[in-house]
Structure 1
Amino acid sequence: MAITDPSMASSWSPLGPGQSSQLSFCPSLDATKLEEARMLLSGMDYSRTTCQDEDGDTILHIYTAKGLRECAFAAAERLRDVGRLDAKEHKGKTALLVAVTANQPDIVQDLLSLGADINACDVKGQTALHLAAHYGFPRVLQVKQKKYRSMTPLHCAAISHGVTMKALSATGLADVNLQTKAAEKLSCVQMLLSEGASLLSQEIKSNKTVLHLAVKEGNIDLVRYLLRIPLPNMKDFVNMKAHGHTALHMAAGLHGNPHQEEILQLLLSRGADPSIRNLENDQPAHLLQSGLQGEQVRCQSVRQPATPFNFYQGSLANHNFSLNL
């Protein structure tokens, strides 16, 4: 019963911070509806209110997916009392994960206040923070950020922002809904970083940082944002490797991407080292495209002020693009 399509979710209107499970601290929780929900559950068969169906759903999963806040609250109280508040359905989602995916912030707040496990993950290893970052729900990210399994929520937010930016680019930058969603997802990245997420964190399987992810997808908005962050070790950050490739290697491989030249310039201006070689012994210049477009990138870069673009200089005819060859 867990919702996986955020387009089915209701609008975002979170409770304020510091609210507890007590009704007096939840002004938007309807007291009359809550009592009716409690009476409804008390009249049901006990197993129906505490057990799981063939898909693993509890009645709490069902109420949560439907956005029935008072019913979900009453069901959560019942399951909490029997130690089953974090029961998982067939995809490993607890009611809290369903609430996050369905963009039900009030129910998220209620479940957390009743003791739902913020660290619970589904069969894919996704936590509430991962899902909130993926779908671009910034207010859920006000809870403390932690690292989980293969990717951190910061990686999820960066990947999700990239997907939306690609969709936006495909529509000709005229889709207001996608523009709004892209802004929300970028705010997730910003919020995670403000809450202590590390730019230096690397995805376990690929060793990519958020900068690698942004550059690899040609996500110019995210690249600009990340490289504006004042880091004392910016040069180290820019030159981190993911399976041998620096962000500059990845930018050189953005053949045909309209933002390739700007990304190259941004990286070089922030200390990217063009002499670094990857596991194939290639420097970034070796990965630039051949043909007219590649020549244009090189020529445009050579025209720039001295230092950062020297790595393009050399014999263009012989494709000897690096001074360090």
Structure 2
Amino acid sequence: MAARGDPRRLHRLVQEGRLCALREELRGAGRAGCAGPAGDTLLHCAARHGHRDVLAYLVETWDMDIEAANRDYKRPLHEAASQGHRDCVLYLLGRGAAVDCLKKADWTPLMMACTRKNLEVIQDLVEHGANPLLKNKDGWNSLHIASREGDPLILQYLLSVCPTAWETESKIGRTPLHTAAMHGCLDAVKVLLQRGLYGADRADRCGCTPFMDAIQCGHTAVARLLLEQHKEGHVSTVQELLSLGADINSRDERKRSALHLACAGQHAACVRLLLQSGLSDSPDASGALAGQLAHRADVLQCFGHCPAS
């Protein structure tokens, strides 16, 4: 059995939220400043597990430092924000916790909060002065992270606070739209297209556009939306994908090919290029051929059909 005041026992009591037992244990030990294996204090543990009453007891009775950092430089506010524990976030902010403190790799509590779909916590941090435009070591800001998670309400809120955030780039030139497209976040892509002025050829340092990211990752609904939004300019993108060795015969979960996608978007130049590259028309899971999705005269002509006069 662990001795009174043993750090492992204390951390377990905090993790389980057993405040009465913790009080008794700490009175007997006469100290609360023990660190866990990763350098976590009891405050880190309380914030991570969402025990506001334990958090308040440790701060107010034992005068524990709310700015204590563990080995990754995480502070209790990082822990509470990353887990979406609003009551703990508000308590720490109310006690004067630094809202834009940095952990390892320069992540702020707001960035951590954006990994969770908890709008209220994000709003609380911003209203207490958190800066959504701060960047981590990779050049990502909070909008990039929120775009990866794909919650449209969070994106709308961040863009209302920082209307120009849509155009920010990471260190390798990737925008929030690149991130949302790569992760297949259709609703996020819709918001970003509505709020931002993205061009079809907006490429990162490697030459990848959001459309290319969506195609390469198999997110055909996102690719279709981008194609419809930017009717022109995607022939060069398709050529680039083919030159990089992209599988021209790849299908999505509904067995639709790139040819289905181009036909649905009524993009004649892309249809022509795909057919010339050797992609043959074949049915999807519902039995529909790509050519059956063609309506415009120039698209129909790619299949040798003459539109009715």
Task: Name the TM tier (shorter chain).
Answer: 0.5 to 0.7
Letter in 2 for 1:308: V
Taking a change above 3 Å as real, the CA distance of residues 216 and 69 of structure 1, as seen in their structure-2 partners, is: closer
Residue correspondence of structure 1 range 85-234 to structure 2 within 5 A: 85-142=99-156, 143-144=158-159, 145-146=165-166, 147-149=168-170, 150-161=173-184, 185-200=185-200, 202-229=202-229, 234=231
Taking a change above 3 Å as real, the CA distance of residues 227 and 54 of structure 1, as seen in their structure-2 partners, is: closer
Taking a change above 3 Å as real, the CA distance of residues 79 and 201 of structure 1, as seen in their structure-2 partners, is: farther
The structural deviation recorded for 1:148 is: 2.0
Partner residue in 2 for 1:255 = 249
* 2:59 pairs with 1:41: yes
Answer 1 or 2: higher relative contact order, Cα 8 Å, separation at least 6.
1
* 2:271 pairs with 1:287: no
Taking a change above 3 Å as real, the CA distance of residues 94 and 201 of structure 1, as seen in their structure-2 partners, is: farther
**Aligned mate of 1:60, from 66, 72, 77:** 77
Distance in 2 of aligned mates of 1:124 and 1:285: 39
The structural deviation recorded for 1:309 is: 5.7
Gaps of 5+ in 1: 1-32, 162-184, 276-282, 314-325
Letter in 2 for 1:239: V
Letter in 1 for 2:249: H
Taking a change above 3 Å as real, the CA distance of residues 310 and 253 of structure 1, as seen in their structure-2 partners, is: farther
The structural deviation recorded for 1:136 is: 1.9
Alignment TM-score, normalising by the size of structure 2: 0.61
Taking a change above 3 Å as real, the CA distance of residues 54 and 296 of structure 1, as seen in their structure-2 partners, is: closer
The structural deviation recorded for 1:197 is: 4.5
The structural deviation recorded for 1:137 is: 1.9
Taking a change above 3 Å as real, the CA distance of residues 272 and 286 of structure 1, as seen in their structure-2 partners, is: closer
Alignment TM-score, normalising by the size of structure 1: 0.59
Identity %: 21
The structural deviation recorded for 1:249 is: 7.6
Taking a change above 3 Å as real, the CA distance of residues 217 and 249 of structure 1, as seen in their structure-2 partners, is: farther
Gaps of 5+ in 2: 1-50, 160-164, 284-288, 305-309
User: Are the counterparts in 2 of residues 216 and 254 from structure 1 also a CA contact under 8 Å?
Assistant: no
What's the secondary structure of 1:198's corresponding residue? Answer: coil
Distance in 2 of aligned mates of 1:256 and 1:111: 43
RMSD, aligned CA = 3.7
What do residues 33-67 of structure 1 show as CA deviations (whole Å, max 9, x unaligned)? 99997676344436x21231222111211222343
The structural deviation recorded for 1:204 is: 1.5
The number of equivalent residue pairs is 234
Name the larger-Rg structure.
2
The structural deviation recorded for 1:273 is: 5.7
User: Are the counterparts in 1 of residues 262 and 271 from structure 2 also a CA contact under 8 Å?
Assistant: no
What do residues 115-158 of structure 1 show as CA deviations (whole Å, max 9, x unaligned)? 11202233333322122111222221012233221311111111
Letter in 2 for 1:116: A
What's the secondary structure of 1:272's corresponding residue? Answer: helix
Distance in 2 of aligned mates of 1:302 and 1:60: 56
Distance in 2 of aligned mates of 1:62 and 1:216: 35
What do residues 229-249 of structure 1 show as CA deviations (whole Å, max 9, x unaligned)? 3x6xx32x333548x627x88
The structural deviation recorded for 1:194 is: 1.5
Partner residue in 1 for 2:240 = 245
The structural deviation recorded for 1:250 is: 8.6
Q: Which deviates further from its counterpart, 302-311 or 255-264?
A: 302-311
**Aligned mate of 2:263, from 257, 262, 265:** 265
What's the secondary structure of 2:148's corresponding residue? Answer: helix
Distance in 1 of aligned mates of 2:101 and 2:256: 46
What do residues 165-210 of structure 1 show as CA deviations (whole Å, max 9, x unaligned)? xxxxxxxxxxxxxxxxxxxx31111111121251436231232322
Taking a change above 3 Å as real, the CA distance of residues 54 and 79 of structure 1, as seen in their structure-2 partners, is: farther
User: Are the counterparts in 2 of residues 100 and 131 from structure 1 also a CA contact under 8 Å?
Assistant: yes
Q: Which deviates further from its counterpart, 215-224 or 130-139?
A: 215-224
